[in-house]
Structures are given as structure tokens and as C-alpha cells.
Amino acid sequence: MARSSSLTEAEAGISCFTSSLPGFQGVLKHRYSDFIVNEVARDGALVRLSSFDLPTECVDVTEAEKAAPSADADHSQTLESFRVLCGDADCNALRGLLERMSAGGDSDVSPVILSPDADKAHRSEVHNFFKTNFKFLVTDTVEHSDGVQKCIRVRLGSGAGGGRGGGGRGRKRKNMGGSGWRDDSPFDSRGSSNWSDHVGKFLRFHLYKENKDTQEALGVIGKMLGLQSRSFGFAGTKDKRAVTTQQVTVFKVQANKLAALNNRLFGIKVGNFWYMIKCILSSYVKEGLTLGQLMGNRFTITLRYCFFYLS
């Protein structure tokens, strides 16, 4: 049965007061905008979303990566080496992927899943093979629904082929049927090699969100970028029913790609890519944020429908 009135102080466990003033009552968080939270960084700075300017420092690919072969090149010798490493079935699957990419059919450039491989060392060797010989492709490891078998998934990288097939979620390989492979998780881009050595591997930015918790907001961004949640770092979670701003880091993502999402995000904005690090303005840092790396939070609270008691 619903209560007809609010709790009394005694019902809430309050038995004494710090003063003899008559007091007042009001409604807290009547709207999510009544509760504003700004993170306070370790240096005491208040975290606000105040700029959408992009950094001038660039994340350039190396000369070797610029000269790397594309999907249209002749890969016959490399495919033979891959056949020795993984067998006929996987070689044919990879050949089919390359042919679809060369044909330019965006809708048909779906990922392929290689044969189950229980040998972790061999899977690492396969990942390194792709990093060396197929820089326009990205690989990650997916797990079967039985929680035991694992295999490697291969897809077109986000920066290759004019952006074809770069993001989103994977799909099952046609000959896998209903085998139960977990191929619906966001792609893991942590292994991307297209990153200059002179730039920090983590982009730091400010995340502004309305009526969403931190994990939900980062989940939306991660889905758009094809990233798993572990690619992000933050110092603390923030309230859902609130307007909050906090620092976040993301692994190997360029600021312009992240900023481009602002037009597609609802109740979420990202910005403030500039940071003063040892008297130098920078956007990319060497280490990601972890829980607890903050001084605290500043709260701006609005109470509505206040009623003041007369003495």
C-alpha cells in the first residue's frame, strides 16, 4: 500500500539535530537536471565540458604502414604461408574475405571466423601474422558459448578500404551455422598497430552525460567505435539520474574520430581534448585512468517544492 505522506525524521532514524531551528522539507532529484556532478581532478581542477576544439598533434601512421599492401594487391605468396600456418579451410576463408573486399561490396565484407584453436601460443602467432602481413585487417579472439573453445575472428580494419566494414558488430560466418560462436560482441581494437611511437597511447577527454550512468554512456560510445568497455578508463562512476561531467581515457583512438560522434549522440557529449602536462599542451597520455584517481566530486543540488516550518 502506498504511503500518503513522506517519512518522518524518527522513521528515518534521526533522533537529534545540530540546531534548534525549525527546519524545512523539499523534493530531491525531482528532475535529473536538479543533481549536477562535476568531477574534481587530482590537481584540484573542476572537470567541465567547455571546448570541442581538436588537438593539432597528429597520430601519423609509420612509413611502413603507409606502404603496406591493400586488399587489391597480390597476396598469393602470403596466403600460401598462411595455409602452412592454419590449414586449407582457414586459408580459403581468408581468400574469400580478400576477394569480397577487392570487389568493393560493402554489405558483403563481413568478418570470418577461423577454425577453433586451443593453443594460445599458436593463436598469438596467427595474430602476429596478420599484424605483419595484413595491416588492413584486424583480428581478435572470440569464445564459443560452451566457454571452452576459442577461435580468431578477422575483419576489415576501420581505417582501410575507405572505411568499409570498419565498425559495428560481427556476424557469423556462413559455414558456421548455429554453432554457438559468440560473434556478436564489439570488436576489440586494443591491438591496433596504426599508432605513432611519439604519441601517448591513451586519449584523455571529458565525458558529459545526462540521465545515464557511466557504463551506459561509454557502452554507447564503444558500440559506435567498435570498442570493448575495457578500452576505456575512468576515475569513478557517476550517478545516473543526474547531469555529470568526468574525465575518461580511451586506448588508441584519435580525437577527431571521437569528436565526430557528437552529432549522433543523445544526452552525451565529449570534448576538452587538451591537457596541460608538464607545461605542455597534449591530448594523448601514456597511461589510462583507473578507479580512485580523482580528488572528489562537486555537487550542485536543487531542492524543489520546499516547505519551511515556522518557529
Would the pTM count as exceeding 0.75? no
What pLDDT sits at residue 49? 96
Three-state SS for 255?
helix
Beta bridge partners of 140: 153
Residues 218, 77: Cα–Cα separation, whole Å = 42
Give per-residue pLDDT as tens, 159-175.
Answer: 444 333 444 444 444 44
Assign 183 a pLDDT band (cuts: 50, 70, 90).
low
Beta bridge partners of 271: 206
DSSP 169: B
What pLDDT sits at residue 163? 39
Please provide the CATH number assigned to the domain covering 32-54+198-304: 3.30.70.3160
- Environment class of 227 (CB within 10 Å of its CB; exposed 0-12, middle 13-18, buried 19+): buried
What pLDDT sits at residue 167? 42
Residues 163, 158: Cα–Cα separation, whole Å = 6
Q: What is the mean pLDDT of residues 277-282?
A: 57
Give per-residue pLDDT as tens, 120-163.
Answer: 999 999 999 998 888 878 888 888 767 778 899 988 765 444 33
Which phi-psi region, left, alpha or beta, contains residue 29 (left: φ > 0; alpha: ψ -120 to 50)?
A: left
CA distances (Å), 294 to each of 44, 60, 108, in order? Answer: 9, 31, 46
At 136, list the grid cell: 588492413
Residues 228, 216: Cα–Cα separation, whole Å = 12
CA distances (Å), 201 to each of 53, 62, 66, 190, in order? Answer: 20, 15, 19, 10
Q: What is the mean pLDDT of residues 182-203?
A: 65
Domain layout of the chain by residue ranges: 32-54+198-304, 76-133+136-176
Assign 3-state DSSP to the chain and report helix, strand, coil percentages, each to 5. Answer: 25, 25, 50
